[in-house]
Chains A and B, each alone.
Chain A
Amino acid sequence: MSTSDPDRLVRPYMVTRGRTRPAGDLPLEALVEARAGAGLRAAHRVTEARRILRKAASPCSIAELAVDLAVPIGVARVLVSDLAADGEVTIHRTAADGGPDVPLLERLLDGLSAC
């Protein structure tokens, strides 16, 4: 996506029906996972939403979904937010705004020490 092409900025927002603020503030790293059978009800959805449901068959972050769709982060958030509101996807746990708690940091330290 070119930063110098203003037209390219307009189009992605069409698929979010003009909304640029999702219901929840989804962190960039939040893992999104399609619920079982979610794709079966996806026929009425915009192409981008169906693509998210396919990509999120296994957990996939908001940031990765944005790359996959070639849309800005904000657009991916709105689409995911809508799918979550309709119960089509699960949004997995991330740290609170203040950062991870002690148990999560301990898990991370163990994980980094072993990788």
Chain B
Amino acid sequence: MDSAPVDGLLAPPAAPSPRPPTASTATGPVSTKIVIAGGFGVGKTTAVGAISEIEPLRTEAAMTAASVGVDDTDQVAQKTTTTVAMDFGRLTLGDGLVLYLFGTPGQDRFWFMWDELVRGAVGAVALVDTRRLADGFPAIDYFEQRGLPFVVGINTFDGAPAHHVDEVREALAIPADVPIRPCDARDRESVRALLIEVTRHALHRARARA
């Protein structure tokens, strides 16, 4: 980061701007996002990196949340500040359309972060690892509860048991209308197919609403 010069102290105050505040354009580029969720180590960042035009970037959001499990009789409001990291990538699709891919924080306890992540999202990919299927529950539960369109990608790591899609659907109680497909998080085409599937699913839902 640049060193801070002192001109901030010497410059005159800003002149009031005649321009409208927070201009939002009707034309020009438009951006949207798809969330990639799943348990720790399931391949979220790998999937982002497989298709992103940039190396996945890590950003952090400082979150202040009311402490869980603090005695309510304490008169002082107990708050904790924590920093949640997430990885993201970018895909420019021409015609001024930019798609961002956000990997959710890996741990369940950051569920409060997801509201912000999924706001305005096309939908989500819930990645599951057949060796740790239960790790997929929190994300799937959350997307169902929020009514966010999502698909389930079964990441086929080397040596992972070859579960059938039907078995995973049953084990995770995934509704019949939610697409499930095996994938390889390292493979661009495989990740692209998942993103297409989410978008189709979202489009289907949006058309049904319209």
Interface residues of A, Cβ cutoff 8 Å to B? 1, 3, 9, 20, 23-25, 27-31, 33, 35, 41, 43-48, 50-51, 59, 61, 63-64, 66-67, 69-70, 72-75, 81, 84-88, 90-102, 104-109, 111-115
Closest B residue by C-beta to A4:
B83
Say yes or no: A84 contacts B22, CB within 8 Å: yes
Cα–Cα distance between A45 and B59 once the two chains are bound (Å):
24
Known: A63-B88, A101-B206. A90 touches B28 (CB 8 A): yes
The docked-state distance in angstroms from the alpha carbon of A46 to that of B7 is 9
- The residue that B202 contacts in the complex, of A72, A93, A105, with Cβ under 8 A, is A105
The segment from B68-76, B118-126, B170-178 found at the interface with A is B118-126
What is the size category of the interface that chain B forms with chain A? 35 or more
Point out the residues of chain A lying under 8 angstroms from B19, CB to CB.
35, 86-87
Q: Taking the complex as formed, is B26 at the interface, i.e. its CB lies under 8 A from any CB of chain A?
A: yes
Type the 1/0 row for B2-42, where 1 means its CB is closer than 8 Å to any CB of A: 11110110011111011111111110111111000000000
Question: Beyond A86-B17, A91-B23, A115-B93, is A67–B98 a contact (Cβ under 8 Å)?
Answer: no
CB pair A29 B200 closer than 8 Å: no
Does B165 sit at the interface, judged by CB under 8 A? Answer: no
> Given A70-B1, A94-B120, A95-B120, does the pair A112, B203 have CB atoms closer than 8 Å?
no
A90 to B168, CA, bound (A): 45
Q: Are B12's CB and A44's CB within 8 A?
A: yes
Shortest beta-carbon contacts, A-B, top 9: A111-B93, A87-B19, A44-B11, A72-B62, A87-B17, A73-B61, A29-B100, A105-B203, A29-B33
Choose from A59, A63, A97 the contact partner of B100 (Cβ within 8 Å). A63
